[in-house]
Amino acid sequence: MVLELKKARPVWQIMFSTHHTDVGLMYLIFSILAMFIGGAMAIALRVELFAPGAQLIEDSMSFNRLFTTHGTTMIFLFLLPSASAVGNYLVPIMVRYKDMAYPKLNAIAFWMIPPAAVLVWLGMADFGWYANPPYSVISSPAPAAEMWIFGLKVLGVSSILGSINFVVTILKCKHPDLSIGKVPLLAWSFLSSSIIVLAAMPTFAAALLMLLTDRLGATGFFNPAVGGDPIAYQHLFWFTFHPEVYVLVIPAIGMMYEIIPRFSRRPIFSQGSGIFAFVMLSLVAFASWAHHMYATGMTFTEKTVFMIGTLAAVPASAMHVFNFLATMWNGRIKFATPMMWAVGGIALFFAAGAGGVVNSAMPLDFITHDSYWVVGHFHLFVFGTIAFGTIGFIYYLFPYVTGRMYNEKWGVVHFILVFVGACITFFTQHILGLYGMPRRIYDYPEIDSWIQMNALISVGAMIMLVGMGIFLANLIYSSAKGKPANLHDPFGLGGKYYYPYEQRNPHH
Amino acid sequence: MGHSNWPEWIYVAVVVALLCYVGAEAWNIENLVEHVPEDAEVIKVTGQQWFWSFEHEDGTKEIGELHLKKDHAYKFEITSKDVNHNFNIHEYVVLLDAVPGQINTVWFSPNEAGEFDIQCREYCGLIHYNMRALLIVEDV
């Protein structure tokens, strides 16, 4: 199975191609680029917070712009496109179709992303990635806010187009001999997450338009000065973006479902429970959005309802973890780089989920809300789980995409550095939150415990920076000069049985 | 897939039982926490970019500092003049959004004399990081 780059081609041939592996390659390269841009911003933030007082960033406005753009970049320009990259490569192959259902639409969905990225990066809005009114309506400087709104609008449309494509490809274009229950779990993960996008994204699209007209002074949906309700925006926003968390995490779990059985040399413990848990997650994703809003003055009943909705997501996630462990149990595990990332990701997923239970319990949320606890918590999800799965999968795809092997030794070093760095950074952030440090602050008072923990967190970030530098060097060097990979078994696992999707594609 | 799956169902049952426990306990405690004592004195708290102002029941106003008595119940009525803020006394787990056009209430009873930080925990712009005030609890 060679997915890509059988022979060198001019760049424009790839750029104007609508073939799923070419579009997948563009998604992949763009998302890696965005990851390094967003990562550089994170490093700047951590250098600034290393100690009280101004370190690197002159003023608080630049800091606010940086953390906003960091978050927006990582979610919309790294994680979503990197999931699309994996889906583009593998979903058509897994459902045994020649391409995505709508190849041109697929290319259009990708090409909407770079202009949107330019808007976000040049604008550098300052209101946090959630753009809460009334700040975002009456106080946030133009034109950055407008550029962010238009950028997100375009990204939302791109995301909807991509999702339509995945749903149609999986449901309508799969091979007639392949029943939906036998479709590999990675493809199932794209089916679930795409359906969530289609149900959730229009709400945010509406909220963005309302925000824009509010800013233009034409309306006052969210502006209390003219009778609007700022809390309504938060409901609309989180109705989209709590499910969006699942949109990101479900493909990452799907990627782990691809990696874990291969490297454990066993079939997946239970395909059925994997599918069940995906469907469960997609449903309960919509039952918990207002757990982000306990502190807005919700009534006791509202809080109780959303606490129950949040806790309902836990059993399904726990079923995935069980499935992974049961697959690895008694397996002849080979800890190659992709497997390390997947297993590390599962460990951090478990920790993140446990922290989530704490947040959802109403009285405890009033300790952790908008503190560094929350920063640590969601980074364990988006970085520790989703990015870990994604990076593991980039290693896994690497031989198929380039025909060459990455350097295994440096891959392991990369994993160890980032895993250690992530533990230092994100677990310490949890504790710092319990000591009361609010998030989104440019500077902090000289409280001993805060100073020590901030320094430790920044050191963890630097360890991750070294790891990611090794990753970049490994990717570039190995794609040009790496050893040619044995494409029938690049990881030396033995036996074709472990690559079920490798059956001949009847249309190729 | 053709094999028995009972360990998974036992495991899910254990997880669900744990979650029920967490949920019930949270419900219970939140119920207690939200019960405001009847003799609680009302303090009006107003957040605006980027400072806190307070008004006592007797009309005394304070800016950036709040003087309260030990072992006395207080109910905060929190609002904002411009954008969203979040009124937070971390040591006493007092935390609630200050939303313009809306009054949110939370109560507490300081049981220790001394000075405590009041901070803003909701992003509110340029000086959000330094939107702080001081709570001074006096022994009477």
Q: What is the pLDDT of residues A18-67, one digit of tens each?
A: 999 899 999 999 999 999 999 999 999 999 999 999 999 989 999 999 99
Is a pLDDT exceeding 60 seen at residue A373? Answer: yes
Number of H helices, E strands in chain A: 19, 0
DSSP state of B122: S
The number of distinct structural domains making up chain B is 2
Q: Band of the pLDDT at A505, cuts 50, 70, 90? A: very low
Which residues of chain A does B96 touch, with a Cβ-Cβ cutoff of 8 Å?
295, 297
Is A231 at the interface with chain B, CB within 8 A?
A: yes
pLDDT in tens, B67-126: 999 999 999 999 999 999 999 999 999 999 999 999 999 999 999 999 999 999 999 999
The pLDDT value given to residue A4: 53
Is B25 at the interface with chain A, CB within 8 A?
A: yes
Burial class (CB in 10 A: 0-12, 13-18, 19+), A359: buried
DSSP state of B43: E
pLDDT in tens, A441-491: 999 999 999 999 999 999 999 999 999 999 999 999 998 889 998 877 888
Q: Do B92 and B25 have their domain in common?
A: no
Q: Who's near A504: CB < 8 A, 6+ residues apart?
A: none
Is a pLDDT exceeding 70 seen at residue B2? Answer: no
Q: Do B103 and B81 have their domain in common?
A: yes
Is A431 at the interface with chain B, CB within 8 A?
A: no
The pLDDT value given to residue A486: 83
Is B4 at the interface with chain A, CB within 8 A?
A: no
Q: Do B9 and B46 have their domain in common?
A: no
More confidently predicted of A111 and A486: A111
- What tokens appear for A87 in the block? 């889906």
Q: Do B67 and B116 have their domain in common?
A: yes
Burial class (CB in 10 A: 0-12, 13-18, 19+), A12: exposed
Q: Using the beta-carbon criterion (under 8 Å), do B90 and A436 form an inter-chain contact?
A: yes
Strands B74-80 and B41-48: parallel
- The SS3 call for residue A130 is coil
Burial class (CB in 10 A: 0-12, 13-18, 19+), A216: exposed
pLDDT in tens, A212-235: 999 999 999 999 999 999 999 999
Q: Give the best residue of B10, B14, B20, B30 to mutate against chain A (max A CB count within 10 A).
A: B30
Rounded Cα gap, residues A146 and A143, in angstroms: 5
Q: Do B53 and B118 have their domain in common?
A: yes
Cα A238 off chain centre by: 16
Least Cα separation, residue B63 to chain A (angstroms): 20
Token pair 């106003």: residue: B61
DSSP state of A98: S
Q: Band of the pLDDT at A500, cuts 50, 70, 90? A: very low
Is A303 at the interface with chain B, CB within 8 A?
A: yes
Q: Who's near A292: CB < 8 A, 6+ residues apart?
A: A234, A238, A242
Q: Who's near A317: CB < 8 A, 6+ residues apart?
A: A277, A281, A349, A353
Q: Do B81 and B115 have their domain in common?
A: yes
- What tokens appear for B40 in the block? 């609680």
Q: Give the best residue of B11, B96, B97, B103 to mutate against chain A (max A CB count within 10 A).
A: B97
CATH assignment at residue B130:
2.60.40.420
Q: Do B98 and B56 have their domain in common?
A: yes
Is a pLDDT exceeding 80 seen at residue A176? Answer: yes
Q: Who's near A266: CB < 8 A, 6+ residues apart?
A: A327, A328, A330, A331, A332
- What tokens appear for A58 in the block? 């002159």
Angle in degrees, CA A466, A71, B124, rounded to 5: 125
Closest CA to A493 of A388, A399, A394, A386: A399
Q: Do B121 and B57 have their domain in common?
A: yes
Sign of CA dihedral A56, A62, A68, A70: negative
Is A271 at the interface with chain B, CB within 8 A?
A: yes
Least Cα separation, residue A420 to chain B (angstroms): 28
Provide DSSP, A388-443.
HHHHHHHHHHHHHHHSB---HHHHHHHHHHHHHHHIIIIIHHHHHHHTTPBSS-S-
Distances (CA, A) of B62 to A138, A333, B134: 27, 66, 11
The pLDDT value given to residue B4: 65
Burial track A335-350 (b if 16+ CB lie within 10 A, e otherwise): ebbbbbbbbbbbbbbb
Closest CA to A459 of A59, A63, A49: A49
- What tokens appear for A272 in the block? 């059925």
Q: Using the beta-carbon criterion (under 8 Å), do A297 and B22 form an inter-chain contact?
A: no
Give me the interface pTM, i.e. the ipTM: 0.93
Rounded Cα gap, residues A36 and A28, in angstroms: 13
Q: Do B125 and B68 have their domain in common?
A: yes
Rounded Cα gap, residues A167 and A160, in angstroms: 11
Q: Band of the pLDDT at A400, cuts 50, 70, 90? A: confident
Question: What is the pLDDT averaged over residues A406-426?
Answer: 97
Provide DSSP, A455-486.
HHHHHHHHHHHHHHHHHHHHHHHHHHHSPBP-
Is a pLDDT exceeding 70 seen at residue A1? Answer: no
Q: Band of the pLDDT at A2, cuts 50, 70, 90? A: very low
Is a pLDDT exceeding 60 seen at residue A508? Answer: no
pLDDT in tens, B3-17: 567 888 899 999 999
SS3 string, A184-227, reads CHHHHHHHHHHHHHHHHHHHHHHHHHHHHHHHCCCCCCCCHHHC
Rounded Cα gap, residues A198 and A164, in angstroms: 8
Q: Do B78 and B14 have their domain in common?
A: no
Question: What is the pLDDT averaged over residues A82-99?
Answer: 92
Q: Cβ(A262)–Cβ(A312) under 8 Å?
A: no
Q: Which helix (H) or strand (E) holds B67?
A: strand B65-69
Q: Band of the pLDDT at A9, cuts 50, 70, 90? A: confident
Any idea where the domains of chain A sit in the sequence?
20-491
Is a pLDDT exceeding 70 seen at residue A498? Answer: no
The pLDDT value given to residue A115: 97
Token pair 């939140």: residue: B30
Torsion of CA B23, B28, B33, B37, to 10 degrees: 160
Tell the CATH topology of A20-491.
Answer: Cytochrome C Oxidase; Chain A (1.20.210)
Q: Do B63 and B1 have their domain in common?
A: no
Phi, psi at B11, each rounded to 5°: -60, -45
Is B12 at the interface with chain A, CB within 8 A?
A: yes
Question: What is the pLDDT averaged over residues A328-343?
Answer: 93
Rounded Cα gap, residues A158 and A145, in angstroms: 20
Provide DSSP, A307-376.
HHHHHTHHHHHHHHHHHHHHHHTT------HHHHHHHHHHHHHHHHHHHHHHHHSHHHHHHHTTBHHHHH
Q: Do B9 and B48 have their domain in common?
A: no
Q: Using the beta-carbon criterion (under 8 Å), do A132 and B22 form an inter-chain contact?
A: no
Q: What whole-number percentage of chain A has pLDDT above 70?
A: 96
Mean pLDDT of chain A: 92
Where in the sequence is the domain holding B30, given as residue range(s)? 1-35
Which residues of chain B does A355 touch, with a Cβ-Cβ cutoff of 8 Å?
none
Strand order in the sheet with B65-69: B65-69, B132-138, B114-120, B85-89, B94-98
Q: Using the beta-carbon criterion (under 8 Å), do B86 and A295 form an inter-chain contact?
A: yes
Closest CA to A356 of A307, A422, A283: A307
Distances (CA, A) of A55 to A47, A446, A459: 7, 14, 15
